[in-house]
Amino acid sequence: MRPLRDPRDEKAAYGGKLTKWIANVDGVRRVGRLISEAMHDFLASGNVFVMPFRWYDPFPTLMHEAAAAGVPIAAAACGGITGFLDSGPEFSFADDPADLNLLGSATARSVDSPRARDGGGRWPGARVECEFDGSIVAGEFEHLYDRLRQPREAGK
């Protein structure tokens, strides 16, 4: 038996509203959960990845996975999404994360414009590869760990 969601839960209410909205959009389908091994291939098979976040997430992992798959991203201007995507060419945000029509317009721009679609899929993937590749992140953690292990010099 599934636990009942608290009707005061803002995320659950937003998820319900978004699910109903998606059900009425031609050519869009909600798939629910995927196993991690299937994620890359699933994301790479799409035309655009829509990121309808309303809550501040400093490092939205799913967005980075979509970028690594080379899929253009349509997203709400919220949290770490803006920091990662705001420098991209041909990229526009849905300025109000609560307005699903703005998100729909941002999605349509990604789908309708070949320049936005091609560029929007290429540069985020390159950025993930250059900045967030596992070996790069692991090396940065090792460097930080080594630095923290060093005894501090007097007066510093």
pLDDT of residue 119: 66
Q: Which two tokens stand for residue 84?
A: 């990662």
* Whole-angstrom distance, CA of residue 85 vs CA of residue 49: 13
Domain that holds residue 67: 10-149
Within a domain: 156: no
Residue 153: pLDDT band with limits 50, 70, 90: low
Residue 80: which CATH number?
3.40.50.2000
* pLDDT tens figures, 77-109: 888 888 787 766 666 677 777 787 888 887 887
Find residue 74's DSSP bridge partners. Answer: 50
Within a domain: 106: yes
3-state secondary structure of 50: strand
* pLDDT tens figures, 28-79: 777 777 888 888 899 888 888 888 777 778 888 888 888 888 888 888 888 8
Domain count, the chain: 1
Within a domain: 4: no
